Amino acid sequence: MVYKKRVVKIILVLVLLSLFAGCIQQPGGNKSHIAPVQEELRIATTTSTCDTGLMDVLNKKFEETNNVKIIKICRGTSEAIARSERGEADVVIAHSVPAELKAVANGTFINRRYIMYNYFAVIGPESDPAGIKSASNASDAFRRIATKQSTFISWGDDSGTHQLERSIWEAANVTPAGTWYQSSGKGMRETIIEASTKEGYTLSERGTYLAMKDEIKLKVLFEKDQTFLFNPYHVMAVNPAKFQAVKYGLAKKYIDYLISPEAQDIIRDYDKDKYGEALFVPAANAAEN
């Protein structure tokens, strides 16, 4: 009997010790179940990639694969670059080659890569009061709008598209002024809506137009100009040598993702079935622009 009692006591002690040890080891034992801290990546990108919805699709895949939260900053190219020059972004996607190359030259950006392209178009009322459908090039189309003093809505925000618009007016030898020439001071979507409301002309990136065509009254009236209306997009990392807080390793990983076959396929196929044509053309393997 005494022997049995001792055995029972020993068993109870062992059970208690096991439970106690389990309680102590539990935090360490559950380490594999604790999700790693989610990093944040700040991306300053042109409004057209946001307005079309492409960025949301591209970013979602990267976030899920890498446990990253992307902070998307949708602005015109000039503001996106300006924010980067203040260290407020890790990655920039832009479509203004002169402004991009200037920022590369001054050391703000590194690892600039070509990711995609599409085209700009001059859109306006289907009646085309300025007769730009038969224009020979973009500057001729703008000259006809000025001659007729047809309503034209400018972005007026110093974005990449606004800079392009100004270069076309310059090529047309026109200084736009008067009640017919109006400035929205807003992004692409808002500018297009204002032009539609006022039955005027404006310059639009084609992908954004396609994404909005069912909610506006404007039509593509002129787009046959490879010199002015070709629209390449590049992605760049903000230089960590200039801003120590920049997450260059993660930025480089994101850039590698955008030029990967997986992301390039997403770009090629995005909303193609919906609109009957691609909003953007993948270009990671094309020659630099």
- Rounded CA-CA distance 188/46 in Å is 10
Backbone phi, then psi, for 116, in 5-degree steps? -170, 175
End-of-domain residue from the set 228, 243, 272: 228
- Rounded CA-CA distance 17/36 in Å is 32
- Whether pTM > 0.75 for this model: the answer is yes
pLDDT at 265: 97
Co-location of 66 and 138 in the same domain: no
User: Does residue 9 belong to any structural domain of this protein?
Assistant: no
Co-location of 236 and 104 in the same domain: yes
User: Does residue 266 belong to any structural domain of this protein?
Assistant: yes
User: Does residue 130 belong to any structural domain of this protein?
Assistant: yes
Query: Residues 110-162: pLDDT tens digits?
Result: 999 999 999 999 999 999 999 999 999 999 999 999 999 999 999 888 788 88
Co-location of 198 and 143 in the same domain: yes
Query: Residues 77-107: pLDDT tens digits?
Result: 889 999 999 999 999 999 999 999 999 999 9
- For the residues 283-289, what does the mean pLDDT come to? 77
Co-location of 84 and 126 in the same domain: no
Query: Residues 202-237: pLDDT tens digits?
Result: 999 999 999 999 999 999 999 989 889 999 999 999
Co-location of 157 and 176 in the same domain: yes
User: Does residue 155 belong to any structural domain of this protein?
Assistant: yes
Above 50 in pLDDT, residue 163? yes
Co-location of 60 and 87 in the same domain: yes
Indicate the number of domains in the chain: 2
End-of-domain residue from the set 228, 248, 263: 228
pLDDT at 158: 79
Co-location of 141 and 213 in the same domain: yes
User: Does residue 87 belong to any structural domain of this protein?
Assistant: yes
pLDDT at 285: 86
The per-residue pLDDT of the chain, averaged, comes to 88
Q: Map tokens 């630099």 to a residue.
A: 288
pLDDT at 107: 95
The DSSP line for 150-197 is: --EEE--S--HHHHHHHHHHHHTT----STTEEE--S-HHHHHHHHHH
- Rounded CA-CA distance 50/255 in Å is 17
Co-location of 188 and 52 in the same domain: no
pLDDT at 18: 52
CATH number for the domain spanning 247: value is 3.40.190.10
- For the residues 36-43, what does the mean pLDDT come to? 89
For helices 261-269 and 54-66, angle between their N-to-C axes, nearest 10 degrees: 150
Confidence of residue 288 (pLDDT cuts 50, 70, 90): low
Query: Residues 253-263: pLDDT tens digits?
Result: 999 999 999 99
H-helix or E-strand containing 238? strand 230-238
The residue range of the domain holding 235 is 39-117+230-282
Above 60 in pLDDT, residue 57? yes
Which pair of tokens denotes residue 214?
Answer: 């069912």
Collect all residues with Cβ–Cβ distance below 8 Å to 72 and sequence separation of at least 6.
43, 45, 50, 55, 59
Co-location of 270 and 193 in the same domain: no
Which of 199, 218, 152, 202 has its CA nearest to residue 179? 152
Co-location of 136 and 223 in the same domain: yes
pLDDT at 13: 45
User: Does residue 67 belong to any structural domain of this protein?
Assistant: yes
Co-location of 108 and 161 in the same domain: no
End-of-domain residue from the set 205, 228, 251: 228
Co-location of 146 and 113 in the same domain: no
User: Does residue 169 belong to any structural domain of this protein?
Assistant: yes
Whether 44 contacts 96, CB under 8 Å:
no
pLDDT above 90 covers a percentage of the chain that reads 73
User: Does residue 34 belong to any structural domain of this protein?
Assistant: no
